[in-house]
Amino acid sequence: MARIVGGLTTSHIPAIGRAIADKKQQDPYWKPFFDAFPPVREWLDKVKPDVAVIFYNDHGLTYFLDKMPTFGIGAAPEYHHADEGWGIPTTGSFKGDPKLSWHIIENVVADEFDPIMNQEMLVDHAFTIPMQLMYPAEGVWPVRTVPITINSVQHPLPTPKRCFDFGRAVGRAIESYPEDLKVVVLGTGGLSHQLDGERAGFINKEFDLWCMDKVVNDPEALTKLSVRDIVEKAGSQGVELLTWIAMRGAMTGRVTNPHKSYHIPISNTASAVMLFENTPVPAAKAA
């Protein structure tokens, strides 16, 4: 059976992609951020996942405001990164896993979720930058991928509880897949940031650190927040926390956090990197 070996969270702002392209990893402004990733890469090299399931928010490359699904799941054999207009280079294509994708889709629909099924899909910087951070060898992706989008752009947004429950359904689907696969789940975005309006540049370190603790030790606490709470406490773009909540929901074993990093600011954003290990909990023996 497939098993979820762990999870990762990271910021995905376009400026990171520009810094990678310009090879600024050792620049004083960028070094504290990039220094958080060697432990992540060491873990990936040791565990060697077969598939990365990536929860992220599309910024208009696949969906636009006239058609904005709450949840979307890629089911293509390959995903491409087109020019987004941010000034960041496009990346090579990413191999999909259609069999696993359709298994996830069928199971989450059976769990009464209604995702868009994408047999053709472009992936944007929220997907590609985390992949570049995990696997910095240019254009070399040793994992197959399943993109899963969560609307954090156009209201009404799904509630944190809805995203957690959706992540749970995805996790159950993965773990019921009959092939022997190692899967890593990602949540990308945030943490607190606001890019527009009177609160442009807003960062809430106290709330960010609270979220980083709860996503490990008490994810149910995050489900008690409303979308309005998150916007108030983390800024209008801080709702990307929804992808973290879904990622955490997918891990149903004993979750530990061997590595984390928090750094502010990167392009007016509070950036965080977290690595999770997911150890299956043995089933209780029958009395």
Q: Which residues are known to be catalytic?
A: 125, 193
Strand partners, 56: 149
b/e string for 168-183 if b means 16 or more Cβ within 10 A?
bbbbbbbbebeeebeb
Kindly state the tokens that stand for 163: 């995203």
What SS3 string covers 213-238? HHHHHCHHHHHCCCHHHHHHHHCCCH
Tokens of 35: 């220094």
Rounded CA-CA distance 221/214 in Å is: 7
d(C-alpha 174, C-alpha 185), whole Å: 10
Q: In terms of Cα–Cα distance, which of 115, 106, 145 is closest to 128?
A: 145
CA distance linking residue 189 with residue 14, whole number of Å = 11
Encoding tokens for residue 20? 């990678």
Helix (H/G/I), strand (E/B), else coil: 15:
helix
Alpha carbon distance 116, 10 (integer Å): 25
H helices of 22-124, where?
31-34, 38-47, 98-110
Half-sphere exposure of residue 48, counting CA atoms within 13 Å on the CB side?
1
